[in-house]
Amino acid sequence: MLSKEEIKLIEKEMAKFPVKSAASIESLKIVQDKQRWVSDKALAEVARILEMPVTELENVASFYNLIYRKPVGRHVIHLCESISCWVMGLEDILGYLNKKLGISYGETTEDDRFTLLPIQCLGDCDKAPAMMVDNDLYNNLTTEKIDDILQKYQ
C-alpha cells in the first residue's frame, strides 16, 4: 500500500509534465525509496494514480535496472563490471565478495543485510576497481578495503 506521503510526492512529480505517465520512472523511484523495492501491489497503485495500464507501467519498470521488482537487502552493493575495472582486477574482487557474503549476483544474504548486483561503468575508471554501496562510491578496491567498507553497513 502506498502511504499518503508517497502519493503526495507522486502527484507533485506528475504536475511537472504535460502527460501524467511521464512521471512513471520518478514515481517508481519514490516508492522504492520508501519500500526498498516495487511490489506488484505498489506498481498497480502507481499505475492507477498515473492513469496508465498496469502492463504498461510494468513494461517501464522491468526495463530499468535500478528499479527493483524483487525485494533487496538493507544495503545494495553495485559492483562495476566495466572494462577498466575488469582490467584492474574485477574478477578477484567479485570472487572475494561472493565468498565473503556467500551470495552471487542477484542474491541477498540470509540476514537480509546485502544484495549483490552488477552495474555498468560507474565512471570512476581512473580509480578502478570501483563499487557503490547504497549511495556511496568506493574505488581503488582491494580485498582488504572491502572488509572495512562492508563493516560500515549493518
**Judged by CB under 8 A, which of 53, 66, 71, 148 binds other proteins?**
66
Distance CA 33, CA 37 (A): 8
Structural element, H or E, at residue 41: helix 40-50
Which grid cell is 16? 511537472
- Give the shortest CB-154-to-other proteins separation in angstroms: 21
Q: Would you count residue 82 as binding other proteins (CB under 8 A)?
A: yes
The span from the CA of 147 to the CA of 57, in Å, is 39
Considering the rule CB under 8 A, would residue 28 count as an interface residue with other proteins?
A: yes
Is 17 a residue that touches other proteins (CB under 8 A)? Answer: yes
The correct pick among 30, 67, 101, 141 for binding other proteins (CB under 8 A) is 67
The answer to whether residue 150 forms part of the interface with other proteins (CB under 8 A) is no
12: nearest Cα among 4, 53, 41: 4
**Which helix or strand (DSSP H or E) is residue 40 part of?**
helix 40-50
Our CB check for other proteins shows the closer of 73 and 124 to be 124
Question: Which of 46, 75, 84, 141 contacts other proteins by CB under 8 A?
Answer: 84
